[in-house]
Amino acid sequence: MCWRKIMAAGADSLKQLTLELGGNDAGIVLDDADPKEVAPGIFATAFMNSGQVCAALKRLYVHDSIYDAVCDEVASLAKAAVVGDGADPRTQFGPVQNRAQYEKVCAYINDAKANGKVIAGGMIPEGPGFVLPLTVVRDIEDGTAVVDEEPFGPILPILRYSDLDDAIRRANGSEFGLGGSVWSSNVQRAQALASRLECGSAWVNQHAAFAPNIPFPTCKQSGIGVEWGMEGLEQFTRLQVINISKQ
């Protein structure tokens, strides 16, 4: 990977590095969440910039009791979205950035069709450009490419769970650790669970909520160091201790 080459290039002089890399952010929807209330936030942060954001919500775990309702709500929003040429003022979601990524996302869409049930999008259009529909897939499992890897495109797999500890284990079972989120009508309960996610940023009832004064840390294969906030500025400083004798 290119980032390993960057680390290797800095090794000779022991350069300090800050690397913010990829992510496969998981969201967990608790059984007390209202599907209609959480769906717009989930949809917006899964498909922001057509899914081409490192900290976009890329896989969603939903409790069995509200699984069907959440799937239906998110799929309805995806079907209603206007996808097309970014120069067209009617367009809400633009194309994938380049041909290589377009072909990669097409492969993930085919993986979703083979291993789950596509309930929105899924059809690769003919014609010029790299436009792909917002795709939602349900009844899919961990271990498939579209769940375990980072598609970096307009596709969201929604997975079912019944045991919360199992959902957290599955959410944490990724080599990435950029961000994660918990969605619930009980903020205190969600906050306690968010602290168990193995990621640099854990959000409650939102995802990918950024501000320049809030640190944006990384962990696992998602990077090294911190961006933004005072902690981010300190990444570019060097600590010096001046220790003076009392004599």
Query: What pTM was estimated for this model as a whole?
Result: 0.93
Give the pLDDT confidence score for residue 1 in this predicted structure.
62
- Distance, in Å, from the CA atom of 24 to the CA atom of 1, rounded to the nearest integer, reads 17
Rounding to the nearest 10 degrees, give the CA dihedral for residues 180, 133, 36, 113: -80
**Catalytically active residues, by annotation:** 20, 54
Q: Which residues of the chain have pLDDT under 70?
A: 1
Domain boundaries of the chain, sorted by first residue: 22-234
Give the pLDDT confidence score for residue 235 in this predicted structure.
87
- Residue 144 CA, chain-centre distance (Å), reads 16
Just give the CATH number of 22-234.
3.40.309.10
- The set of residues, in sequence order, having a beta carbon less than 8 Å from that of 84 and lying 6+ positions away, is 90, 91, 93, 94, 131
Taking each continuous run of H as one helix and of E as one strand, the counts in the chain are 8, 11
Alpha-carbon torsion (192, 219, 177, 50), positive or negative: positive
Give the pLDDT confidence score for residue 99 in this predicted structure.
94
Give the pLDDT confidence score for residue 198 in this predicted structure.
96
Give the pLDDT confidence score for residue 13 in this predicted structure.
84
Backbone φ, ψ for residue 99 (5° rounding): -65, -45
DSSP category for residue 51: G
Give the pLDDT confidence score for residue 202 in this predicted structure.
97
